[in-house]
Amino acid sequence: MRYGETGYDLEIDLSTGNIEKVERDPKLTELYLGGLGLNAYTMWSRVPADADPFDPDNLLIFAAGLLDGTMAHGANRTIVTSYSPQTKLLGFSMMGGFWAPELKYAGYDRIILKGKAPELVYLWINNDKVEIRDAKHLKGKGTYETSYLIRQEMKDSKVQVMAIGLAGENRVFFASLEHGRNSASRLGLGAVMGSKNLKAIAVRGTKDVPQAKPERMKELYFELLKYIQYRLQNPLPGIPGILAYIGSPQEMKLFDERWHTTSFAWGHARYRRKDFWTEEIEKKWAETQRRRIERYVSCYNCPVECGAIIRHDGLTTHRYLMKCFSKLTYLMAAESDSLEFNFDIAGKAQEYGLDGFTTPQVMAFAVELYENGILTDKDLPGFPKNNEERFYYLLEKIVRREGIGDILADGVYWAARRIGKGAEKFDHNTTKKHEQMVIKLGMLNPIYFLMYATGEKGNITQIEGQIPQAPLPKEVREEFVKDWPHVPKGKEERFKRFILEWGDEGKVFPFYPPPDLCCELVEWQEIMHYIDDCTGVCAGLSSFPIKPPYHIHNYPEIISAATGLEIDEDELWTTATRVRTLVRAINVRRGMRRKDEKPPEDHWKKRFPEYEEKLLDTYYKYRGWNKEGIPTIKTLKNLNLDYVAEDFIKRGILKPEEEEE
């Protein structure tokens, strides 16, 4: 009997139409938990290291997290994994909502897809019934329309659908998978799905997910619920509103957008508008927001309501769903003052199935090239004068890969190289070929330097968390550390002192915190995310906010109550480190090295190249990686990743004799 997980994967070969239900070795759960951990293991062991992302041999894996479908709050993440067409590295993108729990209730932890369907198809999974169905009638349809149509066909409001839009069908490198208000949007996995001729996956399940220690699970559930309720009503003092709560940043509920609009960069991540936020804007935006939002919505088994249903009469469904920063990404990139514009274009873009983070940056990049004469009217025939209209123009070109759209659809990095003529210089906000957060700051932040440089996720919000992003005001520091049980064992003294001192004279960036403390802080932030990526718990309840409901001390018990897996804090930490290291190993095998580990050059005005190298050296060493950022044989063996070490030796990536020194 297995608890929490079903123990089964659905293996589907789209080329042959073969469908199999395969039981997994329980040992794998001990080693990799679930979700990303299992996906990484499967990618490592089954996909050739040099496979092209669009190669039929490349796998596309959809995993429910280990805790998905149990009583654990917010355990609803789907972890989609493949090689990314944009970065060419491992791409894993998470989304919340209802899809993964439904998959569990249908009796599966994962769907592992390979091959390529001869024609456009969708999958229909209803408990034991699994069908590959013709999707010709859905070709070119939007993500919402597709979901709507499939749900209509099934006449069951509990069918959960995830779908790609035109962008995925046309293999736009930043195409997303959309499922209601939730998107697996980073790293272009929608394009991989398109390359397999798969339009959508619809799931419905009515089977049991057993829990190992029912009574304990119930107690933990209500303990956490009480804390969630408390945190929703008690923002942390001294911390900007958007970071003072739990959940995904509460942008659907907050009306005050001073923080984002004045501290994030506008245009193609170029400049700040420090006096943008006026009373007049606030009034106008509040009116728009109230009018457009029809309802606040949550993901499965979570009361936090981070999302909203947005009215949109330009869509066949007349509404779409949104959360978080996509409320502002388009308008800031287009340098528009209109929140209405953002609601409109974001809805259209999501219907096409595009990442709301990368897309506006690609568009702003194109506008910049045009204004600098690198792209001309020949490339952009009939290009409108006004930025908002330009964005709509570019949207249509990109999703169809039409004219210049075909180049822009590869994202800023690749487009710059294909365009040439100095366009490369305008590629200033990518890391590992992927567009980054639109932040431009003054002084180097050593903690964020390390997270940007060494992060495997391409997205800072999936790495950061736990600690305030700036020194706390003096008067709240004592109180903050007094009630901070989240800190990992053995770090209490150091991390609390850090909060108490940070911002004092001499305790400022870039030389404070010192490199060793930076390493520990980065590790903590990152490890919490990797745990979530394996368990399927939403980062908004765990790794992202400050003082979240889930933490390293209560996690082991929750995992054990749900699954029966006896794991303590240290073992959980080690397991997450194993997964983190395996992800790195996959990327190393695909060629990633130290030279790739660079935050955007202009992320900070004041840079310290020598010191940054020292930071990187210290961090690599701390992690047990060599000078190139490759985990050493010893590190790999300590983590039960002997097979990785052997592979690295065979390929000449690691040399045993070099490590002796």
Query: Which residues are near ligand SF4 by CB under 6 A?
Result: 74, 76, 96, 247-248, 298-299, 302, 304-306, 538, 540-541
Q: Of 256, 282, 305, 628, which lies in the binding site for another protein, with binding defined by CB under 8 A?
A: 305
User: Shortest gap between Cβ of 75 and ligand SF4 (angstroms)?
Assistant: 8
User: How many chain residues touch another protein (CB under 8 A)?
Assistant: 45
Least Cα distance to 580 among 454, 489, 465 occurs for 454
Which residue pairs from 13-16 have beta carbons closer than 8 angstroms and sit at least 24 positions apart in sequence?
Answer: 13/114, 13/115, 14/113, 14/114, 14/115, 14/116, 14/117, 14/121, 14/132, 14/196, 14/197, 14/198, 15/56, 15/114, 15/115, 15/116, 15/117, 15/118, 16/115
Could you say whether residue 309 binds another protein (CB under 8 A)? yes
Would you say 151 or 637 has its CB closer to another protein? 151
Could you say whether residue 98 binds another protein (CB under 8 A)? yes
How many Cβ atoms sit within 10 Å of the Cβ of residue 259?
A: 15
User: Shortest gap between Cβ of 557 and another protein (angstroms)?
Assistant: 15
Could you say whether residue 319 binds another protein (CB under 8 A)? yes
Would you say 245 or 448 has its CB closer to another protein? 245
Interacting partner of 247 out of ligand SF4, another protein, none (Cβ under 5 to 8 A depending on kind): ligand SF4
Least Cα distance to 345 among 173, 454, 354 occurs for 354
Backbone angles phi and psi of 515, in degrees to 5: -50, -40
Would you say 208 or 642 has its CB closer to another protein? 208
Would you say 248 or 461 has its CB closer to ligand SF4? 248
Interacting partner of 157 out of ligand SF4, another protein, none (Cβ under 5 to 8 A depending on kind): another protein
For the chain, the residue count is 661
> CB within 8 A of 625, min separation 6: which ones?
584, 631, 632, 635
Interacting partner of 541 out of another protein, ligand SF4, none (Cβ under 5 to 8 A depending on kind): ligand SF4
How many Cβ atoms sit within 10 Å of the Cβ of residue 571?
A: 13
* Token digits of residue 185: 């949007």
Would you say 111 or 299 has its CB closer to ligand SF4? 299
b/e sequence 502-537, b meaning 16+ C-beta within 10 Å: bbeeeeebbebbebebbbbbbbbbbbbbbbbbbbbb
If residue 134 lies in a helix (H) or strand (E), which one and from where to where?
strand 129-134
Interacting partner of 624 out of ligand SF4, another protein, none (Cβ under 5 to 8 A depending on kind): none
Backbone angles phi and psi of 280, in degrees to 5: -65, -45
Interacting partner of 69 out of ligand SF4, another protein, none (Cβ under 5 to 8 A depending on kind): another protein
Interacting partner of 321 out of ligand SF4, another protein, none (Cβ under 5 to 8 A depending on kind): another protein
Interacting partner of 205 out of ligand SF4, another protein, none (Cβ under 5 to 8 A depending on kind): another protein
Would you say 538 or 561 has its CB closer to ligand SF4? 538
Could you say whether residue 105 binds another protein (CB under 8 A)? yes
- For the beta sheet containing 60-64, the strands, ordered from the edge strand earlier in sequence to the opposite edge, are 18-23, 8-13, 110-114, 60-64, 78-83, 90-95
User: Shortest gap between Cβ of 304 and ligand SF4 (angstroms)?
Assistant: 4
Could you say whether residue 148 binds another protein (CB under 8 A)? yes
Would you say 458 or 548 has its CB closer to ligand SF4? 548
Would you say 107 or 247 has its CB closer to ligand SF4? 247
User: Shortest gap between Cβ of 527 and ligand SF4 (angstroms)?
Assistant: 19
Interacting partner of 208 out of ligand SF4, another protein, none (Cβ under 5 to 8 A depending on kind): another protein
Respond yes or no on whether the N-terminal peptide bond of residue 599 is cis (omega within 30° of 0).
Answer: no
Q: How far apart are CA 628 and CA 616, in angstroms?
A: 10
Interacting partner of 2 out of another protein, ligand SF4, none (Cβ under 5 to 8 A depending on kind): none
Would you say 302 or 395 has its CB closer to ligand SF4? 302
Phi-psi region of 410 (alpha: psi -120 to 50; beta: other; left: phi over 0): alpha
Check if the beta carbon of residue 246 is closer than 8 Å to that of residue 545. yes
Least Cα distance to 88 among 434, 429, 408 occurs for 434
Backbone angles phi and psi of 79, in degrees to 5: -110, 110
Would you say 213 or 607 has its CB closer to another protein? 213
Pattern 195-234, another protein, x by CB under 8 A: ----------xxxxxxx--xx-xx--xx--x--xx-----
Q: Which 8-state DSSP code applies to residue 603?
A: S
Check if the beta carbon of residue 578 is closer than 8 Å to that of residue 528. no
User: Shortest gap between Cβ of 541 and ligand SF4 (angstroms)?
Assistant: 5
Interacting partner of 206 out of another protein, ligand SF4, none (Cβ under 5 to 8 A depending on kind): another protein
Would you say 250 or 525 has its CB closer to another protein? 250
| Helix pair angle (515-535, 492-501), 10° resolution | 110
Check if the beta carbon of residue 289 is closer than 8 Å to that of residue 339. yes
User: Shortest gap between Cβ of 404 and another protein (angstroms)?
Assistant: 33
How many Cβ atoms sit within 10 Å of the Cβ of residue 271?
A: 11
Q: How far apart are CA 110 and CA 536, in angstroms?
A: 12
Could you say whether residue 176 binds another protein (CB under 8 A)? no
Q: Of 86, 301, 326, 429, which lies in the binding site for another protein, with binding defined by CB under 8 A?
A: 301
Would you say 200 or 334 has its CB closer to another protein? 200
Could you say whether residue 51 binds another protein (CB under 8 A)? no
Interacting partner of 538 out of another protein, ligand SF4, none (Cβ under 5 to 8 A depending on kind): ligand SF4
144-152, 489-497, 566-574, 617-625 -> range binding another protein (CB under 8 A):
144-152
Could you say whether residue 548 binds another protein (CB under 8 A)? no
Backbone angles phi and psi of 531, in degrees to 5: -60, -50
Interacting partner of 53 out of ligand SF4, another protein, none (Cβ under 5 to 8 A depending on kind): none
Interacting partner of 190 out of ligand SF4, another protein, none (Cβ under 5 to 8 A depending on kind): none
Could you say whether residue 297 binds another protein (CB under 8 A)? yes
Could you say whether residue 302 binds another protein (CB under 8 A)? yes
Per DSSP bridges, beta strands 441-443 and 604-606 are: parallel
Check if the beta carbon of residue 104 is closer than 8 Å to that of residue 64. yes
Backbone angles phi and psi of 184, in degrees to 5: -95, 95
Residues binding another protein (CB under 8 A) = 69-71, 98, 105, 144, 147-148, 151, 157-158, 180-181, 205-211, 214-215, 217-218, 221-222, 225, 228-229, 294-303, 305, 309, 317-319, 321
